Amino acid sequence: MWRIYLIAITVILVDQVTKYLVVANMEIGDRLTVIESFFYITSHRNSGAAWGILQGQMGFFYIITIIVIGFIIFYIQKFAKDSKWLGIALAFVLGGAIGNFIDRLFRKEVVDFFDVYIGSYDYPIFNIADSALVVGVIFIFIYTFFDERNQKRSNTK
């Protein structure tokens, strides 16, 4: 159980350290080329959520994030002992949510820097916390899908 919180804390630390390095070493708008025309490190700020929606609605984001964190901790206490993978997925979502929450609390905006081009489309610039959130949510969907399928199979036997 505590290993899950250790994973969440690691996600938060990696997220906050990378954001600190971007803020300390780059001006907003600065760009480092990692892979030409595919992957850049671009110093960016977002006071909204994904795709910059709801700019500046910090009160709303605090409430949603606290609900997400409360929900995840409840799920960790209730279900994480059933499956290691579910526990890891929940830890990623918890770490990602807290990582962006820290930015929203202390910076009133979120630091983003992963700038990926998919073809000519410039995908919204994101960070470690966003990646952990998306990976965690996808894992939870995959686990839930297989868990339901296994349950159906065992019920029909």
Ligand X SMILES: CCC[C@@H]1OC(=O)[C@@H](C)C[C@H](C)CCCCC(=O)CCC[C@@H](CC)/C=C/C=C(\COC)CC[C@@H](O)[C@@H](O)C[C@H](O)CNC1=O
Q: In the complex with ligand X, which residue's Cβ is closer, 52 or 70?
A: 52
112 is catalytic: yes
CA dist 107 and 15 (Å) reads 14
Rg for the chain (alpha carbons), in Å?
18
The DSSP 8-state label assigned to residue 109 in this structure reads S
Residue of the chain from 28, 50, 66, 142 that contacts ligand X (CB under 6 A): 50
Residue of the chain from 126, 128, 136, 143 that contacts ligand X (CB under 6 A): 126
Scanning the chain, the segments in alpha helix (DSSP H) are 2-25, 58-79, 84-106, 128-156
147 is catalytic: no
Residue of the chain from 4, 12, 22, 49 that contacts ligand X (CB under 6 A): 49
How many residues in the chain? Answer: 157
Q: Does 112 bind ligand X (CB under 6 A)?
A: yes
Q: 66 is written with which tokens?
A: 């606290």
The binding site for ligand X (CB under 6 A) comprises 46, 49-52, 61, 64-65, 68, 97, 100, 110, 112, 124-127, 130-131, 133-134
